[in-house]
Chains A and B, each alone.
Chain A
Amino acid sequence: MSVQDHRAHYHRPAPGASASQGRPFGSTLSPWLRLFAGGVWWIEHAFERARADARPEEDTRVRIFLVMVVFSIVFSGLAIGAIHSALFADRGGAGRSANPNALERADLVDRNGALLATNIGYYSLYIHPAEVWDRRQAMADIRRAVPRLPANRLRTAMFGERRALVAQGLTPNERRAIHALALGGVEFEAEDLRAYPLGTSAQHLIGASDTGGVGTSGVELAFNDEIRAAGAAGRDFPISIDLRVQGVLENELAAAAMANGSKGAVGIVTNVMTGEVLGMASYPATTTKNQAVSAVYEMGSVFKTFTIAAAVDTGRADMNTMIDASEAFMVGKRAIKDFHATNRVLSLEEVYLHSSNIGTSRLAVGMGGATMRDYFTRFGLLAAAPIELKESARPIRPRDWSDSTLASLSFGYGISITPAQMSAAMGALTNGGRYIPLSLRRGGALNRGEGRRVVSEQTSQTMLELMRRNVVRGSGSHADAAGLRVGGKTGSANKLVNGRYDATHAVGTFAAVFPADGPVGTQRYSILILMDEPQTFPRTGGFVAAPAVGNIANRIAPFLGVQRRADAYSTALGDKVPSFQDVEGDGR
């Protein structure tokens, strides 16, 4: 620092003060601020400098010049801003505010783009009572124009003190009718409401959302964030179901349930290779629950499929294994008997086709609790179905894995699962042996990968063959559909009523897959039909559920691209081949 420097730049340390105290403002700040402060000082002292230099007129010029520069900059900025806003204003801004209450929620469509849920413009009616001249007359006029308006709310709003909402969801025609009355104090606000044009179709699956556009159940809740994001982006949100399949499923399910007087019924159609749900229905339409995922049932003999699959997969049994069903199987003091007693030694195929409780109990007890538990876990029978729906319920699992429990589990008692769990497990058994989670997302669940291995491909093929034989000459014959090679297993169980199994309260199930032939990797579809408390006799799955499966397969096959073909058991037109020859000699 030299003596020519301005004194403002000089810092005199105060006694006792620290090095940072007493510095002029700006010295501790950035060099840019110091430069700015210096510039201000230079301008402020221009007059003094000019007088010191004996050129006072220069000072005036400088000041005028500076003022002109500042004004020019300001006006130039304003002019540029005005031109920019005039020429390049956001043109979408004007029309965008047409409905400030618009829902940011995408249209819900099926896998082919058919509309399932959308937002429809409605109007809310508000009354500003202070601006109504003759309140009684106005109320009478409005009631006459739109009779469905709630009288109590209208009266409360009309004779209240503040602006109040009378009703939401007015259609444009209703709005026009009220508007034509030319009443003072009547106001309308445009609003979007979620509409479900299919009515009761797929209602349990689609669910609902509230007036604020937040999903409260079903797909609307499960994919809430994604639906809103798609809505914000102006896109539709597709789900996995095929409305044609859904329609057939609902119609056939309702027809079958009405024919046999069932209290309730559930149907699920899935693609076993991807886990996509193509249709999911609950009967009756008046039920509020999606029973396919939120209700649990003891399903009976369908479980024999898993027991036999576990036995085949562990190597404990094959198609040549013989099992003694000539007399009741005693587990402690409990005697396991067959519903259709054969009283003889049965092959594995016969155990399956005759739905022998003795045969599957012997297999389950032979495998032991650890093995059975392992397979039941792999099939997803001990945990809630991993589907996106929040309603997915947990099963009622066995408390212990004793021999008696194993025997019960082997033929579908002692465990209550959701139809969705059953559908996913059957999918795993028939798609080559991998558990693919069910999904309502088109294309299947995210990051599902190849799925966890449940049984070997060989076991899967063996079970497909057994299921097909069960339809051809076993208890599932009513499920056969000409040329579609349907395979499946019946299930019949009595329900617990007042602590006892009551034969008059039954559940009849049929779990099917088609086509059951072809190599691993063949595109297959599963159909699960469950009838809750049918009233016709016999109440078994083969009579109350299997016919609906056949009808559904017949009708949805063209939508799914499944061709009618002959197999070893029947022609493409459904005529039986007289006798099946085991030409390969492999027993399958």
Chain B
Amino acid sequence: MTAGLMFKRVFDWKIRGVRWVEIIGGLLVAVMVLSVYIAKAAAAREGSQISELESQIAENRQRVRLLNAEISRLEQPARLEALSRAAGLGPVAARRQATEGQLPALKSASEPAAPVYVAPVTVPADDVAKPAGEAL
């Protein structure tokens, strides 16, 4: 039996008068339609979620922009200067400025004086018991 004949027999094989090739083809079409439907439905669901998230992102982005603009408005140099002046603040004089390298020198200059040791004084027991307001 040649391959051509075998192919023809398989091609002509019928189930209840319908070629099996056509049945399989129909089934494949049905599967394809169903899969496309499922894919479309899933994509639509995801698409709606994505668009919802994107609208949230856009809204948040707008809010961030608005807040940044608000920060910028509040930090207007003229406004900060007026607030600082009102609070009694002003530019620091050059003599009161120091660089990082000058810090050790400043520390030694402002170190507390050496402690002075004083001989203990004996206090009468009556004085100790008295409240401070009545010492004299």
**Interface residues of A, Cβ cutoff 8 Å to B:** 79, 82-83, 86-87, 89, 91-92, 94-96, 98-99, 114-116, 118-121, 195, 197-201, 243-244, 246-248, 250-251, 254, 481-483, 551, 554-555, 563-564, 572-574
Contacts and interface: CB of A to CB of B under 8 A. Distances in A.
Interface stretch (B7-15, B70-78, B103-111): B70-78
Nearest to A285: B78
A250 B95 CA distance: 25
Contacts of B43: 86-87, 89
A116 to B, nearest CB: 8
A555 B78 CA distance: 15
A574 B42 CA distance: 76
Given A121-B62, A564-B94, A574-B94, A114 B77 contact: no
Query: SS class of chain B's interface: helix, strand, loop or mixed?
Result: helix
B99 interface: yes
Contacts of A198: 72-73, 76-77
B19 interface: no
B2 interface: no
A118 B69 CA distance: 7
Contacts of A250: 77-78
Would you list the 9 A-B pairs with minimal beta carbon distance, nearest first?
A247-B77, A95-B54, A94-B51, A482-B94, A197-B72, A197-B73, A86-B43, A115-B72, A197-B69
B66 interface: yes
Contact of A79 (B32, B54, B81): B32
B114 to A, nearest CB: 29
Interface string B53-81: 11101100010011011111101111011
A564 B101 CA distance: 13
B27 to A, nearest CB: 15
B81 A251 contact: yes
Range for the number of chain B residues in contact with chain A? 35 or more
B83 to A, nearest CB: 12
B47 interface: yes
A120 B66 contact: yes
Contact of A119 (B50, B65, B73, B91): B65
Contacts of A564: 94, 97
B30 interface: no
A197 B66 CA distance: 10
17 contacts: A82-B36, A89-B47, A91-B50, A94-B50, A95-B51, A95-B53, A98-B55, A115-B69, A118-B69, A195-B69, A198-B72, A198-B73, A246-B77, A251-B81, A551-B91, A554-B91, A573-B95
B94 A555 contact: no
Nearest to A114: B72
Given A95-B50, A197-B73, A247 B81 contact: yes
Given A118-B68, A482-B94, A251 B54 contact: no
A551 B36 CA distance: 75
B47 A243 contact: no
Nearest to A116: B72
Nearest to A115: B72
